[in-house]
A and B are shown apart, each in its own frame.
Chain A
Amino acid sequence: MLDNWLFVGIFVLIGAVFPIAPILMGKFLGPNKPNPIKADTYECGMETVGESWIQFKVQYYIFALAFLIFDVEVVFLFPWAVAFDQLGIFAVVSGITFIIILVDALVYAWRKGALEWA
């Protein structure tokens, strides 16, 4: 019930304090003498050339995409796994069908070469 979530709620609030406190402490304890060279972007000691917020290849998007789809799949399967005792063999098979339909998509991605790097 809500009592269980009270702990999580307090944890969210207090849990943020734990990392913030040392950072603030570091601010007071450490020296603070900024200069333009120190505050420059660090790229192996070379002068920075151009904007760093550049464009990336679509590969990264494909992986995140497959991850999203499988995440949703797992959210569907968790209740199925929890209710396993109440399910007959038919319901079990329908859950497996669910998985197999999604495997099709994985096979497509594989065949298409979308899971290769570079």
Chain B
Amino acid sequence: MDFLTNPVDAIREWLLGLMANMPAPWPDVIVNLLGVVVVASFGLGLVIILVWVERKVAARFQDRFGPNRVGPYGLFQTVADILKLFTKEDTTPDNADKPVYNLAPILSLFSVLLIWAVIPFSKDWLGTDLNVGVLYIVAVGSLGALAVLMAGWSSNNKFALLGAFRTVAQLVSYEVPLVISILIPVLLARSMGVHAIVDAQDTFFGMFFFMAPIAAVIFFISSIAEVGRTPFDLLEAESEIVAGFHIEYSGAKFAMIFAGEFLHAFTIAVLTATLFFGGWRGPGAEAYPILGWVYFMAKSLGVYLIVSWIRSTLPRIRIDHMLSFNWKYLTPLALATLIVTALLTKILEGQAVWYQSLVMFLSNVVLFLIANEIVKWRESKKPGRQVVGQPRPVARPPAEPAAEAEA
């Protein structure tokens, strides 16, 4: 093993060699344990950089500099923020249900961290290759909704509970198109293992983005909703419900919820890159796994930049619009795409990959146009809302009493 081209395998071999004379299960357990620590620390360490990236990107969109005081380019700003959060007082409201209140932030970060167990970073660099990997991601992700509900309920605060309920309604609603759109790469790869899905996208036109563009976009949109980022950030709409379910949290516990959200935002970028853009695949990645890691990070960061872009561009959506967009547009469209993809996959079995991609891409385009026409037709049938012509209340300064108050 060459250390430079494949450091992970080299270290693994070296460790197993060191422990060659230990009794049977222990070397395995220890290597797995170290693997867990490495993967989890990688995820958490990433959060520190991501917060900086996010702030810089948002600043550029708003024509500002962003953090630029602490360290080169303000890189250590996040470290300073984390230190500040740790030295804050960690308050617990008297009325809270304490065990549940303390458990919620732990579960919230834990659920995101667990997803990283099955992410393939490069060829053979992955925590574990479960043969039900994709469903595992869905399962672990759904723990997050539970954490939100626990945080909201245990805070014993009207805003927290209202925020939690809204959040959970949003999370469970958008989970439906999310899982249906995940089904499509599974169907194209004939496997639920994340590693096998990456393996199936071995040519440029074999990337599932070309075979299932609608599924990729639906997955991306509903993942953003799962994370609760703009434009789907109703769960922390300050003007309506203060800060949502984590209003009562402070100090390190708030930091955990916050870190969980940031890591989740990057995780969806990673998942989009893995499921639809070929993950670590790229020229030379087979031979030099470290190159695969570079591709993987580049693709994920590319998707992450789009997430930041959307965040700093779009305004917040109203809750009824958000839910009807999900149930009346994304879910039927995802189901239709699934049916069309299933039929086409069966019909085109054995054809060349580029041909399959071309036909599927065109079918997706047609499907999207049809969906658009249906939406337009439905909108045209709705009675238009009358905005003009009715007297509206106008704020006027009161004439007499105001003058008296001034005097």
Contacts and interface: CB of A to CB of B under 8 A. Distances in A.
Direct contact of A and B (CB under 8 A): yes
Interface of A: 3-8, 10-12, 14-16, 18-20, 22-23, 25-27, 29-34, 36, 38-44, 48, 52-54, 56, 59-60, 63-64, 66-67, 70-71, 74-75, 77-78, 81-85, 87, 89, 92, 95-96, 99-100, 103, 106, 109-110, 115-118
Nearest to B347: A89
Contact of A92 (B32, B138, B342): B342
B319 interface: yes
B106 A39 contact: no
A117 B324 contact: yes
B297 to A, nearest CB: 21
B359 interface: no
B302 interface: no
Contacts of A44: 159, 242
13 contacts: A15-B40, A19-B106, A22-B255, A23-B252, A26-B253, A31-B87, A40-B93, A41-B157, A48-B157, A60-B169, A78-B135, A81-B183, A82-B191
Given A25-B252, A52-B95, A74-B138, 19 more contacts: A3-B28, A7-B36, A11-B113, A18-B40, A18-B109, A20-B106, A23-B90, A26-B86, A26-B255, A42-B247, A43-B157, A60-B169, A63-B172, A71-B175, A71-B176, A83-B190, A100-B339, A109-B327, A110-B328
Contacts of B323: 63, 115, 117
Contacts of A33: 89
Interface in B50-99: 85-95
A67 B32 contact: no
Contacts of A16: 106, 110
Interface of B: 28-29, 32-33, 35-37, 39-41, 44, 85-95, 102, 105-106, 108-110, 113-114, 117, 127-131, 134-136, 138, 153, 155-161, 165, 168-169, 172-173, 175-176, 179-180, 183, 186-187, 190-192, 242, 247-248, 251-253, 255-256, 260, 319-320, 323-324, 327-328, 331-332, 335, 338-339, 342-343, 345-346
B391 to A, nearest CB: 25
A106 B331 contact: yes
Contacts of A38: 91
Contact of A10 (B32, B130, B186): B32
B252 A26 contact: yes
A6 B29 contact: yes
A21 B176 CA distance: 34
Contacts of A40: 93-94
A20 B130 CA distance: 27
B110 A15 contact: yes
A64 B183 CA distance: 20
Q: Which label, helix, strand, loop or mixed, suits the secondary structure of the B interface?
A: helix
Contact of A22 (B156, B169, B247, B256): B256
Contact of A23 (B127, B160, B253): B253
Contacts of A32: 89-90
Contacts of A48: 157-158
B7 to A, nearest CB: 19
Nearest to A21: B252
A32 B40 CA distance: 30
Contact of B128 (A7, A42, A89): A7
Nearest to B136: A8
Q: Which 8 pairs across A and B sit closest by C-beta, in order of nearness?
A: A26-B252, A117-B320, A7-B128, A81-B187, A67-B172, A19-B109, A52-B158, A115-B327
B35 to A, nearest CB: 7
Contact of B92 (A39, A66, A81, A87): A39
B165 A52 contact: no
A41 B248 contact: yes
Nearest to B185: A81
A24 to B, nearest CB: 8
Given A6-B32, A7-B35, A52-B161, A29 B114 contact: no
A11 B191 contact: no
B252 A78 contact: no
A82 B85 CA distance: 46
Contacts of A83: 190
A81 B346 CA distance: 11
B95 A41 contact: yes
A22 B168 contact: no
A74 B334 CA distance: 12
A82 B33 contact: no
